[in-house]
Amino acid sequence: MNVIISGGGTGGHIYPAIAIANELKVIDPAIKILFVGAEGKMEMEKVPRAGYTIVGLPVVGIKRELTLANLAFPFKLGRSLIRARQIVHDFRPDAAVGVGGYASGPLLLAASMKGIPTLIQEQNSYAGLTNKVLARWAKRICVAYPGMDTFFPIDKIKLTGNPVRSDIQFASQQVEAGRKLFELDSNRPTLLIIGGSQGARTINESIEAGLMRFVDAGIQVIWQTGPAFIERARTAVAATGSTLIKAYDFIYEMDKAYAIADSVVSRAGALSVSELCLVGRPAILVPFPAAAEDHQTKNAMSLVEHNAALLVNDRVAREELVTAALNLLANPAQQQQLSQQIKTLAKPNAARDIANEVLKLIK
């Protein structure tokens, strides 16, 4: 069997795609999988690192503001459709999977035109534009949140949750390895800060301003800044003179980071929320306000309404985030409550369930 998986642009699209591919290979090691991404986007580096072949399309997105760059959109879309049709013709997939992002549009459209069954995986509580368009031709739509019939035909929907990397599911077994990797003291509380694969400016600036408060409180911090902020973060960390703060542009071994975190500060992207549910870590969510249709706030509220996470609004994060983090770390009872509640929302079999849906389409 041949399966194409398309999409990307952010870790929130890429890592679920890799998790689906991994499960397909577990079910049938002989299956052939080809990824299709957008040229110049992070999937072109992350997917080969996971052991899969990927080809790129020249597709780009439309910017919301008026800009000359939008003039190139129809030409690049046309080239991408032609390239996608060629990829489908050459690879001869039995099914095509779209996980959102620029590349999934042309590829799934090309597959549908060839009569190849397609499956969409929508990670967020508010459907993305590409997936809403592609839903017309999709045979199955796997979603992470209930109530998605607002966006998709109800007879096509399967509630599966979001797939996450298999190593995340076994994070609890990595405590000692995590302490060794990050060189941390087992007797001190640890805060993990993640802003998505590209980092989060508001979170970074909030943490930067409060670094000495963490040092004074004896808190260890694992701080994923994203590539754009890392040099500034390293300068700020050096100025504290402390070894308690560890700054990284990107953390590949997230299972070990989650394993040793007593609490987590994070954006509310779909993948981050799903991982937090799976590892059961008490979290403070700072939704990205510019996300399409404010879907990160909707993602966060799906936890907050179950007393499974705390929320700090982006516009007040610079004043309130560090205080909220210190208060949570000083309150073991609240940490335990949040941990227990967030675990009840986990869907650990999401990748396997989606992989089985793909195989059903083929059969």
Kindly report, residue by residue over 263-319, the tens digit of the pLDDT. 999 999 888 999 999 999 999 999 999 887 788 999 999 899 999 999 999 999 999
Taking 80 as the threshold, does the pLDDT of residue 246 lie above it?
A: yes
Q: Tell me the mean pLDDT in the region 22-34.
A: 96
DSSP-derived secondary structure letter, 149:
G
List, in order, residues 6 or more apart from 346 with CB less than 8 Å away. 161, 274, 277, 278, 280
Beta-bridged to residue 194, according to DSSP, are 266
CA distance 15 to 44: 13
Q: Say if residue 301 is in the same domain as residue 157.
A: no
- The per-residue DSSP string of 49-71 comes to HTT-EEEEE---PPPSS--GGGG
Q: Number of structural domains, the chain? A: 2
Side chain identity at residue 249, one-letter code: D
What tokens appear for 220 in the block?
A: 């260890």
| pLDDT (tens digit per residue) in 313-360 | 999 999 999 999 999 999 999 999 999 999 999 999 999 999 999 999
Whether the Cβ atoms of residue 156 and residue 140 lie closer than 8 Å to each other: yes
Residues 285 and 208 in one domain: yes
Q: How confident is the model at residue 363 (pLDDT cuts 50, 70, 90)?
A: confident
Mark the binding-site residues, compressed into ranges: 10-12, 124, 165, 197, 251, 270-275, 296
CATH, residue 272: 3.40.50.2000
Annotated binding site for UDP-N-acetyl-alpha-D-glucosamine: 10-12, 124, 165, 197, 251, 270-275, 296
Determine contact, residues 297/287, Cβ cutoff 8 Å: yes
pLDDT at residue number 354: 97
Are both 186 and 230 inside the same structural domain? yes
pLDDT attached to residue 285: 98
Q: How many secondary structure helices (H) and strands (E) does the chain include?
A: 16, 13
- 118: nearest Cα among 156, 152, 154: 156
In this structure, the answer to whether residues 183 and 314 fall within a common structural domain is yes
Secondary structure E strands in 267-355: 283-285, 310-311
172 and 157 in a common domain: no
DSSP 116: -
Q: What is the pLDDT of residue 71?
A: 65
Residue linked to tokens 């995590």: 178
Query: Is there a single domain that holds both residue 255 and residue 130?
Result: no
Edge to edge, the sheet with strand 32-38 lists 53-57, 32-38, 2-6, 95-98, 118-122, 140-143, 157-159
Mean of the pLDDT values across residues 153-173? 91
Domain match, 196 and 321 both: yes
Overall average pLDDT of the 177-181 stretch: 95
Cβ-in-10-Å burial (0-12, 13-18, 19+) of 33 comes to buried
Which residues are registered as beta bridge partners of 119?
A: 97, 140
> How confident is the model at residue 307, as a pLDDT?
96
Strand partners, 202: none
Domain residues for the domain of 64 are 2-162+348-362
Q: Is 308 helix (H, G, I), strand (E, B) or coil?
A: coil
Residues 192, 310, single domain; the answer is: yes
Are 130 and 203 found together in one domain? no
Does one domain contain both 297 and 156? no
H or E, element range at 235: helix 230-240
For residue 73, is pLDDT > 70?
no
Residues 98 and 238 both lie in one domain: no
180 falls in which pLDDT band (50, 70, 90)?
very high
pLDDT confidence of residue 253: 93
DSSP annotation of 120 reads E
pLDDT at 28 over 90: yes
* Count of positions (residues) in the chain: 363
Whether residue 192 contacts residue 263, with contact meaning beta carbons closer than 8 Å, is answered with yes
* Confidence band of 72 (pLDDT split at 50, 70, 90): low
Mapping DSSP to helix (H, G, I), strand (E, B) and coil, where does residue 15 land? helix
Same domain, 353 and 314: no
d(CA 341, CA 303) in angstroms, rounded, equals 9
